[in-house]
Amino acid sequence: MGSTVTKQEISDQLKTQRAFFATGATQSHAFRLSMLTFLRQAIEQHEEEIYDALKKDLNKSRLDTFTTEIGFVYGEISRMERTIRRMMTPRRIATPLLHFGSKSQLIHEPYGAVLVIAPWNYPFQLALSPVVGAIAAGNTITLKPSELTPNVSRVIASIFEKAFHSRFAVVVEGDSKVSEALLKEKFDYIFFTGSTRVGQIVLEAAAKHLTPVTLELGGKSPTIVHKDANLRLAAKRIAWGKWINAGQTCIAPDYLFVHESVREEFLGMLEEEAFKQYGNGVGVSSYVRIVNESHFDRLTSYLEDGEVLFGGKTEREALKIAPTVLTDVEAHSAVMQEEIFGPILPVLAYREIEEVIEFVNERDKPLALYLFTENEAIEKQVMRRISFGGGCVNDTIMHVAQHNLPFGGVGASGMGSYHGKYSFETFSHKKGIVKTTTSFDLPFRYMRSDANGKLMRYLLKG
């Protein structure tokens, strides 16, 4: 459905999906499996268009597009194909003595009509990974990709048209107005990826219908380099994680805390590693561009918030900003208050790890946190004392690619999680059933005597 879609069309479309869901057709293993196969085949048929669209929308290279977008989705599809049958089979659950004569079952039931709203920064992967989970769990799907990457949005719409009947899954293209119209409808589940600000709007809209949600939001992800870290490796892995996609990654290191005793040495290495991996950025043909002028202007204004240690080059016409490190930043400056979401990395120094813990804990809970240290006591301290979505020790970003782990935020960085089996769980209602025998009926639950009270006390205490 195109960006001129009307409220009535949205409403009618949802009715059609509801009617289809009510037939039970989406629930069989064969249906789920064939929808995943159709999706993979349609992606394969559109691969060239996907490369082309990401080049146009973000200047993304073929390699980056495969590794961070298409390959990721293929992986999610294959893992679901292998595991859906096991995940969807009702599970026998142990039954306590109190329920003598009963059996217990856990049934994963699809919610029904699911709405997925996606952002622009990994516009293919972040739209389709949740869709894979929603299909595997047996739901119908309405997907709204980001309007800021219109070429990718178009290809995703073509893929859906090729793979699915619209009574099962449909793409609704458009901007925030279209999103608002979708949110007025009563969906059975909403999966939103985007900013914390819009996440609040989504949650408010969902509350009106008591629709459950997953919110994959953003925030400022701290990166800590302790004095005993392997500095060369830390520099290499931080440079990679910060400047991939020109810093437009929800879990990119947002700001850096480096121990004062290794600050000079580490920042020298970071400059070398940034240059090795991304050159000066601006003139490099494969370097990702900033998505649009308004984000470019927002980002370049941060350059006033500190001293440029390296980088700082900008090119408005090409929408490119070089990998940049800022020092001498104040905690109250915009670059330290807002999510940066671009290739600028402010650096702070610290003496005691306690200062870092306090600083992070005074702010919203981050989506990710990265700690570089060889000291397990420091590692334990940071992991126990700071609440954040997920992260890495001695690495950046890689936790998102570990599909056996749940991915998601906490507090202002989001609620709920997904990837692999966690996606299946996210898009399923967990229905608990106790089936009681009719061959006999133990009398004690109906009895009001003291002796029975004692027995009940014993059984209920477990």
Compute the least distance from the CB of residue 258 to ligand NAD, in Å: 23
Tell me if 121 contacts ligand NAD by CB under 6 A: yes
Figure out which of the listed residues 12, 44, 175, 265 binds ligand NAD, where binding follows CB under 6 A: 175
Figure out which of the listed residues 126, 128, 231, 319 binds ligand NAD, where binding follows CB under 6 A: 126
Compute the least distance from the CB of residue 54 to ligand NAD, in Å: 15
Among 256, 253, 263, which Cα is nearest to 227's? Answer: 263
Q: Are 15 and 114 in contact (CB under 8 A)?
A: no
Tell me if 201 contacts ligand NAD by CB under 6 A: yes
In the range 237-256, which residues lie near ligand NAD by CB under 6 A?
A: 250
Stretch that binds ligand NAD, among 74-82, 120-128, 342-350, 440-448 (CB under 6 A): 120-128
Figure out which of the listed residues 32, 144, 227, 259 binds ligand NAD, where binding follows CB under 6 A: 144
Site size toward ligand NAD (CB under 6 A) is 28
Give the number of other CB atoms < 10 A from CB of residue 404.
9
- Across 116-138, b (16+ Cβ under 10 Å) vs e yields bbbbbbbbbbbbbbbbbbbbbbb
Helix (H, G, I), strand (E, B) or coil at 139: coil
Figure out which of the listed residues 17, 26, 68, 179 binds ligand NAD, where binding follows CB under 6 A: 179
The residue (of 158 and 195) whose beta carbon lies closer to ligand NAD is: 195
Residue 216 is among the residues annotated as catalytic for this protein: yes
Tell me if 118 contacts ligand NAD by CB under 6 A: yes
Q: To the nearest 10°, report the CA torsion of 334, 335, 341, 346.
A: -170
Q: Are 180 and 158 in contact (CB under 8 A)?
A: no
Tell me if 220 contacts ligand NAD by CB under 6 A: no
* Torsional sign, CA 11, 17, 21, 27: negative
Compute the least distance from the CB of residue 39 to ligand NAD, in Å: 20
Tell me if 60 contacts ligand NAD by CB under 6 A: no
The residue (of 3 and 78) whose beta carbon lies closer to ligand NAD is: 3
Compute the least distance from the CB of residue 180 to ligand NAD, in Å: 5
> Which positions ≥6 away from 368 have C-beta within 8 Å?
221, 250, 251, 388, 389, 390, 391, 392, 397, 399
Stretch that binds ligand NAD, among 63-71, 139-147, 310-318, 435-443 (CB under 6 A): 139-147
Stretch that binds ligand NAD, among 211-219, 239-247, 277-285, 315-323 (CB under 6 A): 211-219
Compute the least distance from the CB of residue 53 to ligand NAD, in Å: 16
Q: Are 333 and 307 in contact (CB under 8 A)?
A: no
Figure out which of the listed residues 112, 119, 222, 366 binds ligand NAD, where binding follows CB under 6 A: 119
Secondary structure percentages of the chain, helix, strand, coil, to 5: 50, 20, 35
The residue (of 324 and 417) whose beta carbon lies closer to ligand NAD is: 417
In the range 283-322, which residues lie near ligand NAD by CB under 6 A?
A: none
Q: Tokens 């996907």 belong to which residue? A: 50
* Torsional sign, CA 46, 51, 52, 53: positive
CA-to-CA distance for 265 and 371, rounded, in angstroms?
A: 18
The residue annotated as part of the active site, out of 69, 250, 339, 392, is: 250
Figure out which of the listed residues 54, 132, 198, 347 binds ligand NAD, where binding follows CB under 6 A: 198
The residue annotated as part of the active site, out of 173, 216, 273, 339, is: 216
Stretch that binds ligand NAD, among 25-33, 114-122, 324-332, 352-360 (CB under 6 A): 114-122
Compute the least distance from the CB of residue 224 to ligand NAD, in Å: 20
Helix (H, G, I), strand (E, B) or coil at 108: strand
Token pair of 239, please? 């440079």
Figure out which of the listed residues 47, 49, 64, 180 binds ligand NAD, where binding follows CB under 6 A: 180
Token pair of 115, please? 């709405």
CA-to-CA distance for 119 and 125, rounded, in angstroms?
A: 10
Tell me if 153 contacts ligand NAD by CB under 6 A: no
CA-to-CA distance for 304 and 446, rounded, in angstroms?
A: 75
Enclosing H/E stretch for 71 = helix 71-88
Tell me if 147 contacts ligand NAD by CB under 6 A: yes
Residue 250 is among the residues annotated as catalytic for this protein: yes
Tell me if 419 contacts ligand NAD by CB under 6 A: no
Tell me if 222 contacts ligand NAD by CB under 6 A: no
Q: What size, in residues, is the chain?
A: 462
> Which positions ≥6 away from 291 have C-beta within 8 Å?
57, 58, 120, 121, 148, 149, 248, 319
Figure out which of the listed residues 45, 176, 301, 437 binds ligand NAD, where binding follows CB under 6 A: 176
The residue (of 314 and 413) whose beta carbon lies closer to ligand NAD is: 413
Backbone dihedral angles phi then psi of residue 433, each to the nearest 5 degrees: -125, 130
Active site residues: 216, 250
Which residues contact ligand NAD by CB under 6 A?
117-121, 126, 144, 146-147, 175-176, 179-180, 183, 193-195, 198, 201, 216-218, 250, 339, 341, 367, 409, 414
